[in-house]
Structure 1
Amino acid sequence: MVPIVLVGFYLGGLIVGVLSAVISFILAWSIYRLSPIILLRWYDARSMSRETHSFVYSHLSELSSHFDVPLPQPNVFDSEAPITFIIGTNKKCYLLISTSSMDMLDEDELKSILTLEVAKISMGTVPVNTAVALFAGAIAAFSTITLWIAMFTGFGQKDDPAPRFISFLAMGVISLPCALLVHIFAVDSTMEVDRMAAGMMADTHLLSKTLNKTGTYIKLHVTDSFNPGHTHLFSMNPLKTNTIFDVYSSMFLTKPTVEQRISYFENIKDISQ
């Protein structure tokens, strides 16, 4: 927003500069407030029932008190990948848990993931990463749009090479600006969050076990495609680079690998013994 204001002052003088500043402030405030709402609708997230999942609310309340952060509103969204993430503003956050996570993780494993997610709020990076996800996700969605256009114009089905190649070319055009946006503005606090979560939990082995379980499941069983502009939010990066059509995914691997994180937790356990 600052460059826009400076250009306004340079080209139009004081009045245009002030007007640019006011408009920029309104836009920034709107993006700040609306980004989490838009992403909630993007994933068709539904508020989690307090009666059905009382242990989730109870553990979130305990974690929020421990980290001295606002209580996040838990939501569930449909995905075959066991991923979770936090979006929101400084005053209100939303926790999104995939249906796969709810199905495959037991209560203790789910609590360990919740600990990692709530720790992110205390880092103060959630609002920035949410806004980045909105913009980067919108850019990255262009390749998906071209895929569906290709299919609707008679190039075949989803797994046929023609529409996939068109999507591949479109992704080549938008991947660089999208990845630059993520790398420049998104804040990766994974290792610090892992350290904070490990300091709170009595059994760090549970954290490494849960990460290994979900990471292995994603690697072997998940075939969903993910918006690369959102993966910096996720508990772990589900993007794969198995074929030539996945080559651009490597540009969005911003987090430490699951193996590195597990090694960190195992080292903590060895030191504490």
Structure 2
Amino acid sequence: MSNRFGTSLFFLVSSALLILLAGLTKNAIVVVSVAFMMLILSSYIYLSAGSLILKLYKARKIQRDENPLLYSILEELSSRAQVKTPELYSFEAEIPGMFTVGNGSKAFIAISTSMFETFDDLNLEVLLAHEVGHIKNRDVSLNTVTALFAGVIMLFPELAMWGSILSGFGQPHDPAPRFFRFATTALAAPPAATLVQLTNPQRRELEADEVAIKLTRNPQLLAKNLEYLENYIPFQPVTGKFNPGHFHLFSTHTQRIRGDRAMFISMFDTHPDTGDRVMHILNHSNYKENGILTTRYSRVPGFFDPKSWKLAMGTSFVAYMMFLFVIIVLVTFALKDFNFLINGGIAGAYIGSVLFFMRITAKVTRRKPQQKCLLSAHKRIIQNSRQVFKYFVKR
């Protein structure tokens, strides 16, 4: 219900803002026309967002005769979860990845070609169960709509780079196009990351893991595969281009940004710490021996880097201040004079809005992995101590 409410709220807020802007015209026909257009546009986005994302990845449908075993596994998982069986797609990528898109009535699971090379069908079962968990928890619509809008926002850096190239500023690796792309990334990353993080993707990943455990009754394999992916991905060369606005769609940290924009990846860290996630899976499944949790795991390095996050936030703030300078220049040229009151009012309102927005961005994107890991370790010590005490009391 909360995910349905979040999806509805997203469309309601965006529609209300445009209707309010239309209301400034004080023309009832304009207001009604805008409201009607937003209704049609919202319905189209809700129904077509999944297909649009699949087209972006050039995904193709996997026919049943191509992989009958995988389809049988997916049908069995869907039957246990009491959800409609989703359609299977594959897309070309050298990084193992899997995601689910769609709407409330239809879902599509897309699997990268590298994922098929990394895991066999039986190992894919637990990862498919995680995606089915998103479907059962009704996460898919919210994930898909969020990915579409956040992805569109993060396309502006590429558009800025190609706009500068077509304007005669050089080639993609020249300083000017790269600067335009970097500056636009600094402007686009905060709103895109905030939009994604406000949907609380970390909680929804843990809840999907819980469903996967119930469907497969094999928490050890789920934990092992997730941990393997987290250790495997960072050492693979990234040759393809991945949109940061889509990172939350994947079951693990399967995407990385490298190069001059690498600092912004911390804003899009949408998954729980892998070590804590593994312990959550094992503890939730009650996988114990003689009352004591014995499964061990290797700590995977966190993807959140506090230094990079601070640098990204500072860079974004500077970029917004540069944009304010452009606004002041344009206003001055439009008025053909520098009006201190008008420009001062614009600057004050703009800076106040940016500070408020950056504070929200900082609150939802910042993570404290060290404190979190210490807290989780403390809880595990207490829990295992209680289990040891109960074990000896029973003896």
User: What is the TM-score with the length of structure 1 in the denominator?
Assistant: 0.88
- Per the TM alignment, residue 28 of structure 1 is displaced from its structure 2 partner at its CA by 0.6
Q: AA paired with 2:193?
A: A
Q: How does 1:1-273 map to 2 (within 5 A)?
A: 1-8=15-22, 11-12=25-26, 15-148=29-162, 153=168, 155-156=170-171, 158=173, 163-185=177-199, 187-188=201-202, 189-223=204-238, 224-240=240-256, 245-268=261-284, 271-273=287-289
Deviates more, 1:5-14 or 1:242-251: 5-14
Comparing 22-31 with 2-11, greater Cα deviation is found at 2-11
CA distance 1:186–1:78, change in 2 (3 Å): farther
Secondary structure at the counterpart of residue 251 of structure 2: coil
Give the Å deviation of 1:170. Answer: 2.2
C-alpha displacement at 1:196, in angstroms?
1.3
1:96 CA displacement: 0.4
SS, match of residue 236 in structure 1: coil
Greater relative contact order: 1 or 2 (C-alpha under 8 angstroms, separation 6 or more)?
Answer: 1
Structure 2 Cα separation of the partners of residues 173 and 6 of structure 1: 25
Partner amino acid, structure 2, of 1:248: F
After superposition, the Cα gap between the structure-2 partners of 1:187 and 1:29, relative to the gap in structure 1 and judged at 3 Å, is farther
Please list every run of 5 or more consecutive structure 1 residues that lacks an aligned counterpart in the other structure.
none
Quick one: distance in 2 between partners of 1:241 and 1:264? 28
Deviations 1:29-63 (A, max 9, x none): 01111211111110000001211211121111111
Q: Name the aligned partner's letter for residue 212 of structure 1.
A: E
Q: 1:9 to 1:164 in 2, by over 3 A?
A: closer
Identity of aligned residues (%): 32
Tell me by how many angstroms 1:64 deviates.
1.4
Measured against aligned partners, the alpha-carbon deviations of 1:153-199 in whole angstroms (never above 9, x if no partner) come to 574565x7665444322211211122122223575510111111112
Structure 2: where are the runs of 5+ without partners? 1-14, 290-395
Q: Bigger CA drift: 94-103 or 195-204?
A: 195-204
| Aligned 8 A contact 1:132 1:186 in 2 | no
AA partner of residue 28 (structure 1) = S
Which SS does the other structure have where 2:154 is aligned? Answer: helix
| Contact 1:63–1:118 (8 Å) recurs in 2 | yes
Residue 214 of structure 1 aligns with an amino acid whose one-letter code is L
What TM-score comes out, normalization by structure 2 length? 0.63
CA contact (8 A) 1:120 1:193 kept: yes
Moved more, 208-217 or 239-248: 239-248
Does the 8 A contact of 2:169 with 2:177 survive in 1? Answer: no
Name the larger-Rg structure: 2
Q: Which moved more, 1:144-153 or 1:246-255?
A: 144-153
In 2 relative to 1, CA 241–227 (structure 1 residues): closer, same or farther, beyond 3 Å? closer
Q: Equivalents in 2 of 1:269, 1:25: separation in Å? A: 44
Secondary structure at the counterpart of residue 207 of structure 2: helix
* Matched positions, count: 272
For the residue of structure 1 that corresponds to 2:249, the secondary structure is coil
Match of 1:205, as an amino acid? Answer: Q
Q: Is the 8 A contact 1:205 1:269 kept in 2?
A: no
* Cα offset, 1:97, TM superposition: 0.3
Question: For the residues of structure 2 that align with 1:3 and 1:53, how far apart are their CA atoms?
Answer: 47
| Whole-Å separation in 2 of the counterparts to 1:148 and 1:103 | 34
Q: 1:171 to 1:197 in 2, by over 3 A?
A: same
CA distance 1:144–1:237, shift in 2 (3 Å):
farther
CA separation in 2, counterparts of 1:157 and 1:177? 25
- Deviation at residue 7 of structure 1 after TM alignment: 4.9
Given that residues 164 and 245 in structure 1 are in contact (C-alpha distance below 8 angstroms), is that contact kept between their aligned partners in structure 2? no
SS of equivalent residue, structure 2 residue 275: helix
